[in-house]
Structure 1
């Protein structure tokens, strides 16, 4: 019995680190040209079932505008209200936002998706401005946005 327990402990010790490996991502969001104040963005990941997983970045530090990033806010509320990502300044028209983040290797090609919600004060709101699969095939391929994000490229 002790041999079986020792074997299980050894197998667990060897298997657990492989689950912890992270894939580094570079996310580049090119902001469309528009007239108005700087835009707010939430870049986040959803699970294969569509539920919220984690926040990678929030552009715009004034929390009173976060409610306009509707799908992201709903996801956080459903997950218990924990904003677990990093935030920075809002982004102006024509600029490029570059974010460096990490996700678990197991999330790649497993049905997870990257979402971007965008909004501008006194302007439009775009839930799911861009949605793209977290897949090896989409690495380095630009996706076109529907709102304030002209294009999004995720490279890993």
Structure 2
């Protein structure tokens, strides 16, 4: 390869890498209703602008046999072999708060992505897509109401 070509490639890589590396933290705070049942299993995940699964942000609830009750997330993420890598914790009790933080590529924000949370509690009705919130700067800090188990979801961008 010519020296000029190598210099050009090195320059392009130097300029492109910082763009790829830009990320922001998103902190999700889900306040659960006092629904009077056992701890809820929750799956927080991202959907892209075309409605396809993009990434799991967090799964609250440690027993995999119950993940089938988080039906939208389970169906959409089934082919993601790393969907649970480092993103699981305990179920969340009625009236309690779940707070999780994830790093997201800056390019996902205001690009048509949506945060979704599926919810289920033992001996109670499942709630697929319990809450759906566009991942947009205009929605940051604004509480969004859930359908059955989640009183409100707020996300912050840092």
Band the TM-score falls in, shorter-chain normalisation:
over 0.9
Q: Which runs of 5+ in 1 are unaligned?
A: none
Matched, 1:111 2:76: no
**1:85/1:128 CA distance change after superposition, 3 Å:** farther
State the secondary structure of the residue aligned to 1:143.
Answer: coil
Q: After TM superposition, list the pairs within 5 Å mapping 1:108-147 onto structure 2.
A: 108-147=109-148
Q: TM-score, normalised by structure 2?
A: 0.92
Shift of 1:8: 3.0
Indicate if the aligned counterparts of 1:25 and 1:100 stay in contact, CA closer than 8 A.
yes
Residues 56 and 85 in structure 1, CA contact (< 8 A), matched pair in contact too = no
Deviation at 1:85, TM superposition (A): 4.9
Cα deviation 1:46-70 (Å, max 9, x = unaligned): 1111111111110101111110000
Provide the rounded CA distance (Å) in 2 between the counterparts of 1:70 and 1:46: 14
Q: Aligned to 1:144, what secondary structure does the other structure show?
A: coil
Alignment of 1:1-156 (within 5 A): 2-77=3-78, 79-83=79-83, 84-156=85-157
SS of the residue 1:114 aligns to? strand
Q: Secondary structure at the match of 2:36?
A: coil
Cα deviation, 1:14-66, whole Å, max 9, x if unaligned, reads 11221121111111000011111110000001111111111111010111111
Structure 2 CA distance for aligned equivalents of residues 14 and 24 of structure 1 = 23
**What is the CA-CA distance between 1:13 and the residue it aligns to?**
2.1
**1:27/1:140 CA distance change after superposition, 3 Å:** same
**How many equivalent residue pairs?**
155
| SS of residue in 1 equivalent to 2:17 | helix
